[in-house]
Protein backbone atom coordinates (compact mmCIF):
# COMPACT_ATOMS: atom_id res chain seq x y z
CA UNK A 1 0.00 0.00 0.00
CA UNK A 2 1.03 3.58 -0.58
CA UNK A 3 2.40 5.87 2.13
CA UNK A 4 0.13 7.25 4.80
CA UNK A 5 -1.54 10.58 4.19
CA UNK A 6 -1.01 12.97 7.11
CA UNK A 7 -3.80 13.57 9.61
CA UNK A 8 -5.92 16.66 8.97
CA UNK A 9 -8.85 18.20 10.79
CA UNK A 10 -12.20 16.94 9.52
CA UNK A 11 -14.76 19.67 8.92
CA UNK A 12 -18.48 19.62 8.15
CA UNK A 13 -18.13 21.56 4.90
CA UNK A 14 -15.66 19.07 3.39
CA UNK A 15 -16.97 16.64 0.76
CA UNK A 16 -17.60 12.92 1.27
CA UNK A 17 -15.44 10.65 -0.90
CA UNK A 18 -17.23 7.70 -2.49
CA UNK A 19 -15.21 5.08 -4.37
CA UNK A 20 -15.81 1.99 -6.47
CA UNK A 21 -13.83 -0.19 -8.86
CA UNK A 22 -15.89 1.50 -11.56
CA UNK A 23 -19.42 2.82 -11.90
CA UNK A 24 -21.24 0.32 -9.66
CA UNK A 25 -20.85 2.50 -6.56
CA UNK A 26 -23.19 5.02 -8.17
CA UNK A 27 -26.00 2.76 -6.90
CA UNK A 28 -24.76 3.64 -3.39
CA UNK A 29 -24.27 7.31 -4.29
CA UNK A 30 -27.97 7.42 -5.27
CA UNK A 31 -28.94 6.45 -1.71
CA UNK A 32 -26.41 8.85 -0.18
CA UNK A 33 -27.98 11.66 -2.20
CA UNK A 34 -31.41 10.69 -0.86
CA UNK A 35 -30.34 10.29 2.76
CA UNK A 36 -27.88 13.23 2.84
CA UNK A 37 -28.90 15.60 0.02
CA UNK A 38 -26.97 18.54 1.45
CA UNK A 39 -23.55 16.81 1.27
CA UNK A 40 -21.05 17.42 -1.51
CA UNK A 41 -19.67 14.12 -2.80
CA UNK A 42 -16.63 13.24 -4.85
CA UNK A 43 -17.34 10.02 -6.72
CA UNK A 44 -14.17 8.26 -7.84
CA UNK A 45 -14.65 5.36 -10.27
CA UNK A 46 -11.53 3.29 -10.87
CA UNK A 47 -12.78 2.15 -14.28
CA UNK A 48 -9.25 1.98 -15.71
CA UNK A 49 -8.72 -0.98 -13.36
CA UNK A 50 -12.24 -2.48 -13.27
CA UNK A 51 -13.22 -5.15 -12.60
CA UNK A 52 -11.56 -5.72 -9.22
CA UNK A 53 -13.45 -8.97 -8.63
CA UNK A 54 -11.03 -11.31 -10.35
CA UNK A 55 -7.78 -9.60 -9.28
CA UNK A 56 -5.50 -10.83 -6.50
CA UNK A 57 -6.07 -9.60 -2.95
CA UNK A 58 -2.76 -7.73 -3.02
CA UNK A 59 -3.76 -5.92 -6.21
CA UNK A 60 -7.22 -5.00 -4.90
CA UNK A 61 -5.67 -3.69 -1.68
CA UNK A 62 -3.17 -1.58 -3.59
CA UNK A 63 -5.76 -0.17 -6.00
CA UNK A 64 -8.22 0.63 -3.20
CA UNK A 65 -5.48 2.32 -1.14
CA UNK A 66 -4.46 4.40 -4.15
CA UNK A 67 -8.02 5.67 -4.63
CA UNK A 68 -8.55 6.34 -0.92
CA UNK A 69 -5.25 8.23 -0.68
CA UNK A 70 -6.25 10.28 -3.70
CA UNK A 71 -9.53 11.19 -1.95
CA UNK A 72 -7.67 12.06 1.26
CA UNK A 73 -5.39 14.40 -0.64
CA UNK A 74 -8.58 16.18 -1.71
CA UNK A 75 -9.49 16.55 1.99
CA UNK A 76 -12.65 14.49 2.30
CA UNK A 77 -14.32 14.18 5.72
CA UNK A 78 -15.31 10.53 5.21
CA UNK A 79 -14.72 7.73 2.72
CA UNK A 80 -17.42 5.36 1.54
CA UNK A 81 -16.05 2.18 -0.01
CA UNK A 82 -19.02 1.60 -2.31
CA UNK A 83 -17.56 -1.65 -3.59
CA UNK A 84 -18.10 -4.93 -1.74
CA UNK A 85 -14.93 -6.39 -3.23
CA UNK A 86 -12.72 -3.48 -2.11
CA UNK A 87 -14.45 -3.49 1.29
CA UNK A 88 -13.72 -7.13 1.94
CA UNK A 89 -10.14 -6.94 0.69
CA UNK A 90 -9.07 -3.59 2.13
CA UNK A 91 -11.71 -2.16 4.52
CA UNK A 92 -10.19 -3.42 7.77
CA UNK A 93 -6.64 -2.52 6.74
CA UNK A 94 -7.63 1.02 5.78
CA UNK A 95 -9.51 1.54 9.05
CA UNK A 96 -6.40 0.51 10.92
CA UNK A 97 -4.28 2.84 8.84
CA UNK A 98 -6.62 5.84 9.20
CA UNK A 99 -8.27 5.49 12.62
CA UNK A 100 -9.13 9.21 12.65
CA UNK A 101 -11.22 8.99 9.47
CA UNK A 102 -14.79 7.67 9.15
CA UNK A 103 -14.53 4.81 6.63
CA UNK A 104 -17.85 3.22 5.71
CA UNK A 105 -17.41 -0.10 3.93
CA UNK A 106 -20.40 -1.72 2.22
CA UNK A 107 -21.21 -5.39 2.77
CA UNK A 108 -23.80 -7.73 1.23
CA UNK A 109 -27.28 -7.19 2.76
CA UNK A 110 -27.49 -10.75 4.07
CA UNK A 111 -29.14 -9.84 7.39
CA UNK A 112 -32.33 -8.22 6.01
CA UNK A 113 -32.64 -11.02 3.44
CA UNK A 114 -32.40 -13.78 6.06
CA UNK A 115 -34.75 -11.95 8.45
CA UNK A 116 -37.25 -11.43 5.62
CA UNK A 117 -37.95 -15.15 5.63
CA UNK A 118 -36.46 -17.22 8.43
CA UNK A 119 -35.85 -20.72 7.16
CA UNK A 120 -35.97 -19.57 3.55
CA UNK A 121 -33.45 -19.93 0.76
CA UNK A 122 -31.23 -16.91 0.06
CA UNK A 123 -29.18 -16.45 -3.10
CA UNK A 124 -26.16 -14.17 -2.62
CA UNK A 125 -24.77 -12.74 -5.85
CA UNK A 126 -21.33 -11.09 -5.57
CA UNK A 127 -17.79 -11.27 -6.93
CA UNK A 128 -15.65 -14.33 -6.23
CA UNK A 129 -13.40 -12.24 -3.97
CA UNK A 130 -16.29 -10.96 -1.84
CA UNK A 131 -17.67 -14.48 -1.41
CA UNK A 132 -14.26 -15.97 -0.63
CA UNK A 133 -13.05 -13.38 1.90
CA UNK A 134 -13.20 -13.45 5.71
CA UNK A 135 -15.69 -10.56 5.97
CA UNK A 136 -18.42 -12.49 4.15
CA UNK A 137 -17.49 -15.82 5.74
CA UNK A 138 -18.07 -14.24 9.17
CA UNK A 139 -21.36 -12.75 8.03
CA UNK A 140 -22.45 -16.15 6.73
CA UNK A 141 -21.57 -17.86 9.98
CA UNK A 142 -23.94 -15.51 11.83
CA UNK A 143 -26.91 -16.41 9.65
CA UNK A 144 -26.41 -19.89 8.25
CA UNK A 145 -28.52 -21.47 10.98
CA UNK A 146 -31.47 -19.24 10.01
CA UNK A 147 -31.60 -19.81 6.24
CA UNK A 148 -30.14 -21.84 3.43
CA UNK A 149 -27.58 -19.54 1.86
CA UNK A 150 -26.37 -20.14 -1.69
CA UNK A 151 -23.44 -18.04 -2.94
CA UNK A 152 -23.06 -17.41 -6.63
CA UNK A 153 -20.24 -15.37 -8.21
CA UNK A 154 -21.09 -13.63 -11.47
CA UNK A 155 -17.71 -12.86 -13.10
CA UNK A 156 -18.27 -10.73 -16.19
CA UNK A 157 -21.41 -8.94 -14.98
CA UNK A 158 -19.74 -5.64 -13.91
CA UNK A 159 -18.42 -5.28 -17.46
CA UNK A 160 -21.99 -5.07 -18.82
CA UNK A 161 -22.70 -2.15 -16.48
CA UNK A 162 -19.38 -0.45 -17.30
CA UNK A 163 -20.50 -0.49 -20.97
CA UNK A 164 -23.93 0.88 -20.05
CA UNK A 165 -25.51 -2.41 -21.23
CA UNK A 166 -28.30 -2.70 -18.66
CA UNK A 167 -30.61 -4.97 -20.66
CA UNK A 168 -29.77 -6.92 -23.80
CA UNK A 169 -30.12 -10.46 -25.17
CA UNK A 170 -26.46 -11.08 -24.26
CA UNK A 171 -27.02 -9.96 -20.67
CA UNK A 172 -30.11 -12.15 -20.33
CA UNK A 173 -28.26 -15.12 -21.77
CA UNK A 174 -25.35 -14.51 -19.37
CA UNK A 175 -27.63 -14.40 -16.31
CA UNK A 176 -29.81 -17.27 -17.44
CA UNK A 177 -26.77 -19.47 -17.86
CA UNK A 178 -25.70 -18.79 -14.26
CA UNK A 179 -29.18 -19.09 -12.78
CA UNK A 180 -29.75 -22.42 -14.55
CA UNK A 181 -27.25 -23.90 -12.04
CA UNK A 182 -30.00 -23.50 -9.42
CA UNK A 183 -32.00 -26.23 -11.14
CA UNK A 184 -35.48 -26.35 -9.63
CA UNK A 185 -34.41 -24.87 -6.26
CA UNK A 186 -36.91 -22.15 -5.36
CA UNK A 187 -35.30 -18.93 -4.15
CA UNK A 188 -37.03 -16.75 -1.54
CA UNK A 189 -34.60 -13.83 -1.38
CA UNK A 190 -31.78 -12.48 -3.51
CA UNK A 191 -28.89 -10.36 -2.27
CA UNK A 192 -27.10 -8.07 -4.72
CA UNK A 193 -23.67 -8.21 -3.08
CA UNK A 194 -21.87 -6.19 -5.73
CA UNK A 195 -22.70 -2.54 -6.28
CA UNK A 196 -22.79 -2.96 -10.06
CA UNK A 197 -25.70 -5.42 -9.88
CA UNK A 198 -28.51 -3.04 -8.82
CA UNK A 199 -28.26 -1.45 -12.27
CA UNK A 200 -29.43 -4.73 -13.82
CA UNK A 201 -31.85 -5.48 -11.01
CA UNK A 202 -35.01 -5.48 -13.22
CA UNK A 203 -33.54 -8.26 -15.38
CA UNK A 204 -32.34 -10.24 -12.33
CA UNK A 205 -35.80 -9.83 -10.76
CA UNK A 206 -37.54 -11.00 -13.92
CA UNK A 207 -35.32 -14.05 -14.32
CA UNK A 208 -35.46 -15.10 -10.65
CA UNK A 209 -39.19 -14.44 -10.45
CA UNK A 210 -41.26 -11.46 -9.33
CA UNK A 211 -42.01 -13.16 -5.98
CA UNK A 212 -38.31 -13.15 -4.99
CA UNK A 213 -37.47 -10.33 -2.52
CA UNK A 214 -34.26 -8.59 -3.54
CA UNK A 215 -31.95 -6.68 -1.19
CA UNK A 216 -28.79 -4.63 -1.58
CA UNK A 217 -26.49 -2.82 0.85
CA UNK A 218 -26.81 0.72 -0.51
CA UNK A 219 -29.39 2.08 1.90
CA UNK A 220 -27.70 0.56 4.96
CA UNK A 221 -24.40 2.10 3.86
CA UNK A 222 -25.94 5.55 3.36
CA UNK A 223 -27.57 5.40 6.82
CA UNK A 224 -24.31 4.27 8.36
CA UNK A 225 -22.58 7.27 6.76
CA UNK A 226 -25.23 9.58 8.23
CA UNK A 227 -24.76 8.02 11.70
CA UNK A 228 -20.98 8.34 11.54
CA UNK A 229 -21.08 11.97 10.41
CA UNK A 230 -23.74 12.85 12.97
CA UNK A 231 -21.80 11.22 15.81
CA UNK A 232 -18.76 13.37 15.01
CA UNK A 233 -20.68 16.58 14.40
CA UNK A 234 -19.69 16.46 10.73
CA UNK A 235 -23.10 16.71 9.03
CA UNK A 236 -23.30 19.57 6.57
CA UNK A 237 -26.16 21.64 7.99
CA UNK A 238 -26.54 24.21 5.21
CA UNK A 239 -29.93 24.36 3.56
CA UNK A 240 -29.05 23.86 -0.08
CA UNK A 241 -28.37 20.68 -2.02
CA UNK A 242 -24.83 19.42 -2.42
CA UNK A 243 -23.04 18.62 -5.67
CA UNK A 244 -21.39 15.56 -7.13
CA UNK A 245 -17.85 15.93 -8.42
CA UNK A 246 -17.12 13.15 -10.91
CA UNK A 247 -13.66 11.63 -11.17
CA UNK A 248 -12.53 8.51 -13.00
CA UNK A 249 -9.15 6.87 -13.54
CA UNK A 250 -10.08 6.06 -17.14
CA UNK A 251 -9.38 8.63 -19.86
CA UNK A 252 -12.63 7.69 -21.61
CA UNK A 253 -14.70 10.87 -21.12
CA UNK A 254 -17.87 8.98 -22.10
CA UNK A 255 -17.72 7.31 -18.66
CA UNK A 256 -18.51 10.58 -16.89
CA UNK A 257 -21.58 11.00 -19.13
CA UNK A 258 -22.61 7.43 -18.38
CA UNK A 259 -22.01 8.04 -14.64
CA UNK A 260 -24.42 11.00 -14.68
CA UNK A 261 -27.03 8.92 -16.52
CA UNK A 262 -26.70 6.08 -14.00
CA UNK A 263 -27.17 8.51 -11.11
CA UNK A 264 -30.39 9.58 -12.85
N1 LIG B 1 -18.68 -3.04 -7.64
C2 LIG B 1 -17.83 -4.03 -7.08
C3 LIG B 1 -18.46 -4.69 -5.86
O4 LIG B 1 -19.34 -4.12 -5.23
C5 LIG B 1 -17.28 -5.14 -7.93
C6 LIG B 1 -17.12 -5.05 -9.37
C7 LIG B 1 -15.73 -5.48 -9.79
O8 LIG B 1 -15.46 -6.68 -9.91
O9 LIG B 1 -14.94 -4.57 -9.96
O10 LIG B 1 -18.06 -5.75 -5.48
With a 6 Å cutoff on the Cβ, whether 90 touches ligand 1 is no
Do β-strands 78-81 and 16-20 pair in parallel, antiparallel, or remain unpaired? parallel
* Fold agreement (16-106+218-263, 110-216): yes
With a 6 Å cutoff on the Cβ, whether 197 touches ligand 1 is no
Residue 3 pLDDT level (bands cut at 50, 70, 90) = low
Q: Give the pTM.
A: 0.96
The answer to whether 194 is a known catalytic residue is: yes
Q: Which residue has the higher pLDDT, 68 or 4?
A: 68
| Rounded CA separation 117/139 (Å) | 17
Q: State the catalytic residue, choosing from 94, 192, 194, 234.
A: 194
CB distance 29 to 41 below 8 Å: yes
The answer to whether 83 is a known catalytic residue is: yes
| 32 SS3 class | helix
CATH match of 16-106+218-263 with 3.40.50.1860: yes
Calculate mean pLDDT across residues 38-55.
Answer: 96
Q: State the catalytic residue, choosing from 79, 83, 222, 258.
A: 83
Residue 2, pLDDT > 60, answer: no
CATH architecture for segment(s) 110-216:
3-Layer(aba) Sandwich (3.40)
The residue ranges of every structural domain in the chain are 16-106+218-263, 110-216
With a 6 Å cutoff on the Cβ, whether 127 touches ligand 1 is yes
CA of 145 to the centre of ligand 1 (A): 27
Structure confidence at residue 240 (pLDDT): 87
List beta partners, residue 123. 150, 190
Q: Which of 4-8, 38-42, 246-250 has the lowest mean pLDDT?
A: 4-8
Amino acid sequence: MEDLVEVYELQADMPVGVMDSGLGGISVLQKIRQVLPQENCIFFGDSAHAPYGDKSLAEIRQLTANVVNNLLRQRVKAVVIACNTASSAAGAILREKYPWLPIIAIEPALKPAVLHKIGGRVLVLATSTTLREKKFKKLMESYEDKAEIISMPLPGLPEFVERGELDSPALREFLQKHFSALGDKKIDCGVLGCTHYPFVRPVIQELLGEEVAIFDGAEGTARQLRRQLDMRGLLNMRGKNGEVIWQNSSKDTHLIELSKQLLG
